[in-house]
Amino acid sequence: MLIEGISLSASHKNQWVLYTPDGRHLLLNQASAALIRLLQENQDLENATTAFNQQFKVNLSTADFNQLIQHKLAGYGILTTDANLPKRKTSPYLSLKIPFFSPAIAGILSSPFRPLFKPTVFRALFGLLMVVMIGGLVYYSQAAPTWANINWLLVACLVYPAALIHELGHIAACRAAGISHGSIGFGFYLIFPVLYADVSHVWQASKKQRIIVNLAGVTNELLYATCLLAIYYFTTSPSFLLAFYLILLKVLFELNPFARMDGYWLFSDITNTPNLLAKANGRIKEVFTYLFVPSKRNHISFNRTENWLLLYGTMNVLFILVYAGIMLNREADLIVNFPKIVIDLLLKTVQLEVTFDVLKKEYLFVFIFYWLVGSFLYKLIKKLYLASFKLSRTT
């Protein structure tokens, strides 16, 4: 009944992870994990039905048990009968993934960093890097580089490798913890091109190990930024100081817990909450319904985990609303004219006439505004369309 090559391992308390031969992992509760183990031990349907009835003290027929299996597990590609069924849709946060370093090559490239992610070494290193970063920012706060003295080609050559160094940190931390890993490659997060490291098997690790893996990428970048700061100290070349600042900004952005980057996965592991954003949004919907829609009011609990989800979801929504409000107040004219500006920049780029002096930092903030508002409107329109479609089917 189950395909060959799947494996099951404990994750946290009553959570289990099922690994499939094609590299996917599914989070299961204790009941689903017990069903998987029973099917692994009893590949024959009749024997599995008997074992299930004995284990759970019920009296299901073979047909009823088979219906239970199909309801719980069909469509995930783990049953032999799934070949004729469409797989259940998932929502990968990365699209168009193209691996370019195999797991073996990625492991070799990460070898120099592996000793850094033993728990004792990591804690000391991360604390030291925090001190160096804060000290560097304070000490050189008055030494902001002037644009005229910047070697932009050198800055690009210094900053771009930080992305690969980041991903090698994740791989090195996995190998230090004895966790299997996948490749390093290129993909798109929403519309942004990014590098990625396949560390999906990190769910096999303990909570402390997962936290180290989550922080390993930014740790590598902070170590690299420290080296650039040291070079600036000896050479006083402003290009190295600018590269240091840019990498620190990149690290801060990656630690943002409201986008699916390192900060998001870190917060997810600290709170032991897989699918954090979806659960937080669901929690907000529950509380909103309870408070303002009496006709659909159901009992809801307010335990520690649920309160964390409500706080996280609320902060996520407030972040978007506050950001949109500030941008509308300060950059209303730029927001209105931004589509025309983008078209002009694209035309100048094609004609090789674009220069750095026409690029403004405000463009990035307006772009983020359009992305946030566009994502919200897309989800709203999709929900309204689905609701109207269901209504038309019932009438």
Q: Is 301 helix (H, G, I), strand (E, B) or coil?
A: coil
- Measured CA distances, 58 to 30, 212, 354, 364 (Å): 18, 44, 72, 60
DSSP 180-207: ----EEEEEETTEEEEEE--GGGGGS-H
Residue 15 to residue 215: CA distance in whole angstroms: 23
Residue by residue, pLDDT tens for the chain (395 residues) are 787 777 777 766 667 777 777 666 677 777 888 888 888 888 788 888 888 888 888 888 888 888 888 888 777 777 877 665 555 455 556 667 888 899 999 999 999 999 999 999 999 999 999 998 888 888 777 665 566 678 888 988 999 999 999 999 999 999 999 988 989 998 887 666 788 998 888 877 888 999 999 999 999 999 999 999 999 999 988 889 889 988 998 898 888 888 778 998 898 888 777 778 878 888 888 888 878 777 766 777 777 778 888 888 888 888 888 988 999 998 899 899 888 988 888 887 777 665 656 667 778 788 888 877 777 777 667 767 766 666 665 55
Q: Tokens 């817990």 map to which residue?
A: 257
Place of tokens 């804060």: 134
Which of 204, 208, 165, 167 lies closest to 184, judged by CA? 167
Tokens of 11: 């994750």
Q: What are the residues facing 192 on neighbouring strands? A: 189
Q: How far apart are the first and last CA of the chain?
A: 40
Starting from the edge strand earliest in sequence, which strands make up the sheet with 184-189, in order?
94-101, 184-189, 192-197
Q: 3-state class of 183 per DSSP? A: coil
State how far the Cα of 239 lies from the Cα of 155, in Å rounded to an integer.
6
Q: Cα–chain-centroid distance for residue 239?
A: 31
